[in-house]
Amino acid sequence: MTSYGSYPAARPRRLRTTPAMRRMVAEHRLHPADLILPAFVREGIGEPVPVSSMPGVVQHTRDTLRKTAVEAAEAGLGGLMLFGVPLHKDATGSQGTDPDGILQVALRDVRAEVGDALVLMSDLCLDEYTDHGHCGVLDDRGRVDNDATLERYAEMALVQAEAGAHTLGPSGMMDGQIGYVRERLDRAGHEDVSLFAYTAKYASAFYGPFREAVASSLEGDRNTYQQDPANLRESLRELELDLAEGADMVMVKPGLPYLDVLRVFAERVDVPVGVYQVSGEYAMVEAAAEKGWIDRERVILETLTSFRRAGAGLVLTYWALEAARLLRR
């Protein structure tokens, strides 16, 4: 290539000259269909209740959830991920398996309202339902009992599938949960219900605001079942197991602190890979924006783009509806 004295011969800036040029050469794009909106529905409230640590996020009533589902479908979102907040919590999380429990009722509502216009997903975990706040049932020494919990998950899976969920999100990090739930779904004739495995779910402080959102009373931590933030190889072992057990899609969670894990997943598997931008990530950005310290909309789109760049096909984000709006502009 010709060079002109000390002037640069290669000029990458040429491809950054105009908005049209930058748009054309962009390597990754966001699309509303890749976004999944997590939403909370709470039993026994007349009005939506704001989640104070997540400005803009509420615990929905059945009614406002239905409206939100319609909005989500109209915005062309990929799906909804529903979490139920029951009035009564107990040791076994009995509301999670009651066909008339709040999550099951909400699934029926939403399915009746929007049908198949979006993918209806539900959280398959006990922490929203237990009075001790753990993701499983406890043994007589107070430890989370893996295999007894699997039985509870299987029962939950069946009522959620009956209520109309297209996809279940097992998020409790119990060993064998994907295989156990898959077999029970199949035996009951729900072989079309897919599993979006929370494969690499880290024991993260970024879930803080979520605990308020689901009114969780957890004392202690989840370190005996969720992964140590120090580990990457361990998540590859979880990945192999989940795929062998029949996961249809796999997820990394949280998002921004684990982009490296996401990258490795995306390089290794042929199933869709998702990422969950969790409550604490949302809260951090909202708090800084409220102080006027960052440009909120640009930061939202930049974080979502970083997930796509790292290899995520699907992104769960509390900004899904807003991001869809921003993308239309």
Name the one range near ligand PBG by CB under 6 A: 122-130, 155-163, 185-193, 258-266: 122-130
Q: To the nearest whole angstrom, how small is the minimum distance from the Cβ of residue 169 to ligand PBG? A: 8
CB closer to ligand PBG out of 24 and 101: 101
Stretch that binds ligand PBG, among 10-18, 123-131, 148-156, 178-186 (CB under 6 A): 123-131
Give the residue with the Cβ less far from ligand PBG, 63 or 131.
131
Name the minimum Å distance from CB 166 to ligand PBG.
18
Structure tokens at 20: 């049209």
Please report whether residue 129 would count as binding ligand PBG according to CB under 6 A: no
For residue 134, what is the DSSP state? -
Determine how many CB atoms are found less than 10 A away from the CB of residue 90: 12
Q: Which residues contact 170 (CB under 8 A, 6 or more apart)?
A: 124, 125, 153, 157, 177, 178, 181, 195, 197, 198
- Residue closer to ligand PBG by CB (options 153, 207) is 207
Query: Which residue's CB is nearer to ligand PBG, number 264 or number 316?
Result: 316
Cβ proximity to ligand PBG: between 194 and 279 the closer is 279
**Residue 238 is assigned to a ligand binding site:** yes
User: Which listed residue (53, 61, 167, 279) binds ligand PBG by CB under 6 A?
Assistant: 279
For residues 10 and 24, what is the distance between their CA atoms, to the nearest angstrom?
A: 19
Residue 137 touches ligand PBG, criterion: CB under 6 A: no
Give the residue, chosen from 106, 119, 125, 269, that forms a contact with ligand PBG under the rule CB under 6 A: 125
For ligand PBG, the binding residues in 46-85 under the rule CB under 6 A are none
Sign of the C-alpha dihedral, residues 92, 96, 97, 102?
positive
User: Contact letters (x/-) for ligand PBG, 232-271, by CB under 6 A?
Assistant: ----------------------------------------
Q: Should residue 130 be labelled a site residue for ligand PBG when binding is judged by CB under 6 A? A: no
Alpha-carbon distance of 313 to 34, in angstroms, equals 6
- Min dist. Cβ of residue 83 to ligand PBG (A): 7
Q: Is 109 in contact with 65 (CB distance < 8 Å)?
A: yes
> Hey, what amino acid is at 209?
P
In whole angstroms, the minimum distance from the beta carbon of 253 to ligand PBG comes to 7
Which residues are marked as active site? 201, 253
| Binds ligand PBG (CB under 6 A): choice among 40, 180, 196, 207 | 207
Q: Is 174 left (phi over 0), alpha (psi -120 to 50) or beta?
A: beta
Residue 40 interacts with ligand PBG (CB under 6 A)? no
Joined together, the tokens standing for residue 160 give: 């959620």
Q: How far is CA 297 from CA 7, 104, 226, in A?
A: 37, 34, 32
From residue 177, how far is each of 138, 168, 217, 319 by CA, in Å? 16, 12, 24, 29
- Give phi and psi for 163, each to the nearest 5: -80, -5
Element (H, E) at 194: strand 194-201
Q: Name the 3-class secondary structure at 296.
A: helix
Query: Contacts with ligand PBG: how many residues (CB under 6 A)?
Result: 10
**CB-nearer residue toward ligand PBG: 82 or 110:** 82
* Contacting residues toward ligand PBG, per CB under 6 A: 123, 125, 127, 135, 171, 207, 210, 222, 278-279
Which residue numbers belong to the known binding site?
211, 222, 238, 279, 318
